[in-house]
């Protein structure tokens, strides 16, 4: 849940990037980190294995600017995508305000995408959240790879509820900020409703 501090006039929100192993969650955060002005970002933290696989989470704090005198801050987290890190994934979803599901567009990863999406829904439910009620966007990553499925097919499999979705190539940064903006905006709109 977002944290509203009237004393320091700040609103802090938490965004979690979810998806199967090697789909590009960490790459998304790295691109955001590289392209953000130094005064708008904090240090990026990656708790990763020696082979640069996410072990626990990546973390990147961003400030977006002010709305009505309140500083808006977003904390971006990724989860470890590999199946056996499920216990860690559950922990990172605690207190989430918005979710980005990063799908790997390659045909051979479609089953992994579907499994990860089901896992997301289940883990959220365990924490008392409903994915259909959370600010939520989908990103089809790795559009540049030759084995990428068509967006229509991916949409049919991974986005049956028709939430905003974006094509991306996280290594070049294409679609990365569009995805982030969409989820951040959706969180703010939700806050506006004062849920």
Partner 1 sequence: MSNPQLVMYEEEFQEINDVIGRLLKEANSKVIFLVDKNGQLISGVGETERFDTTSLASLTAGNIAATGGLAKLIGEKEFSILFHEGEKDNLHISIVAGRVILVVLFDSRSSLGLVRLRVKKSSEELASIFEKLMKKSEEKEKRGSSDFPFAEITDDDIDNLFS
Using CB under 8 A as the criterion, which residues of the chain lie in contact with partner 1 when the complex forms?
A: 1-8, 11-12, 14, 42-43, 45, 47, 56-57, 59, 61, 64-65, 67-70, 72, 75, 77, 87-88, 90-92, 94-95, 127-129, 181, 184-185, 188-189, 191-192, 194
Closer CB to partner 1, 1 or 145, in the complex: 1
By beta-carbon proximity to partner 1, the closer residue of 111 and 126 is 126
CB of 184 to partner 1, least distance (A): 8
Q: What's the min distance (Å) between Cβ of 107 and partner 1?
A: 34
Min CB(90)–partner 1 separation in Å: 8
DSSP string over the chain: --EEETTTTEEEEEEEEE-STTSSHHHHHHHHHHHS-GGGB---EEEE-TTS-EEEEEEEEEEEEEETTEEEEEEEEE---SGGGHHHHHHHTTT-SEEEEEEE-BGGGHHHHHHHHHHHHHHHHHTT--GGGS-EEEEEE-TTSTTBPPHHHHHHHH-TT---EEE-BTTTTBTHHHHHHHHHHHHHHHHHTT-
Closer residue to partner 1 (CB): 110 or 188: 188
CB-nearer residue toward partner 1: 47 or 145: 47
Handedness of CA 155, 159, 161, 166 (dihedral sign): negative
As measured in angstroms, the least distance from the Cβ of 187 to partner 1 is 10
The CB-of-179 to partner 1 minimum distance in angstroms stands at: 12
């Amino acid at each position: 849940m977002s944290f509203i501090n009237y004393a320091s006039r700040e609103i802090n929100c938490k965004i979690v990037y979810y998806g199967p192993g090697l789909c590009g969650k960490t790459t998304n955060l790295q691109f955001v980190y590289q392209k953000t002005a130094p005064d708008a970002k904090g240090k990026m933290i990656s708790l990763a294995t020696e082979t640069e696989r996410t072990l626990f989470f990546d973390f990147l704090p961003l400030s977006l600017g002010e709305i009505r005198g309140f500083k808006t801050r977003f904390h971006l987290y990724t989860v470890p995508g590999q199946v056996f890190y499920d216990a860690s994934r559950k922990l990172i979803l605690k207190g989430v305000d918005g979710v980005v599901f990063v799908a790997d567009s390659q045909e051979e990863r479609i089953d992994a995408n579907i499994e990860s999406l089901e896992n997301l829904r289940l883990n959220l439910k365990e924490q008392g959240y409903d994915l259909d009620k959370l600010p939520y966007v989908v990103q089809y990553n790795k559009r540049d790879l030759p084995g990428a499925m068509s967006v229509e097919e991916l949409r049919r499999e991974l986005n049956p509820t028709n939430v905003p979705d974006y094509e991306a190539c996280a290594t070049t940064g294409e679609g990365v900020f569009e995805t982030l903006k969409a989820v951040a905006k959706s969180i703010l709109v939700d806050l506006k409703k004062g849920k």
